[in-house]
Amino acid sequence: MHICVFGSSIAHGLYDLEQGGWVERLKLYCLNQQEKIHHIYNLGIDGDRVEGVLTRFEKESTLRKVEALIFAIGFNNSPHSANPKGTKLSVFESQYNDLVKKAQNLTSQIMLFGLTNVDETHVQ
């Protein structure tokens, strides 16, 4: 099985200096369990947003003959200190729905990881 993981720094494992993040830990777990997973591709990019994944999704997943998808994306679209305005909720929802529809055209095996908690007083 070929699994593609799309996301931002959380998926990429940017600050996990011990084992490289949860995607790398998942790879090790599957290897140790002798799961029938041939490749787990970590396609997380630090600072990425839903629109970034949308622009590269089809090319990245098609090249890797994806059979399952994991999305851990959206935190950088939310209002937080590095992105105080965030993405307008209606735009985020539209882009996320577009991404899921494109994913459903490739496979029915899709996992969507929840977003990190956000202070909703900043949501527009």
Q: Summarize pLDDT for 8-57 with one digit per residue, the tens.
A: 888 887 777 777 788 888 888 887 777 677 788 999 998 888 999 999 99
What is the mean pLDDT of the segment spanning 85-94? 87
Inter-residue contact 11 to 23 (CB < 8 Å):
yes
Helix, strand, coil share (%) of the chain residues, nearest 5:
45, 20, 40
Q: Identify the pLDDT of residue 83.
A: 72
Give the percent of the chain with pLDDT over 90.
35
Inter-residue contact 87 to 124 (CB < 8 Å):
no
What is the widest separation between alpha-carbon atoms in the chain? 46
State the chain's mean pLDDT as an integer: 84
Q: Identify the pLDDT of residue 76.
A: 81
pLDDT for 121 beyond 80? no
The burial class, CB within 10 Å (0-12 / 13-18 / 19+), for 15 is exposed
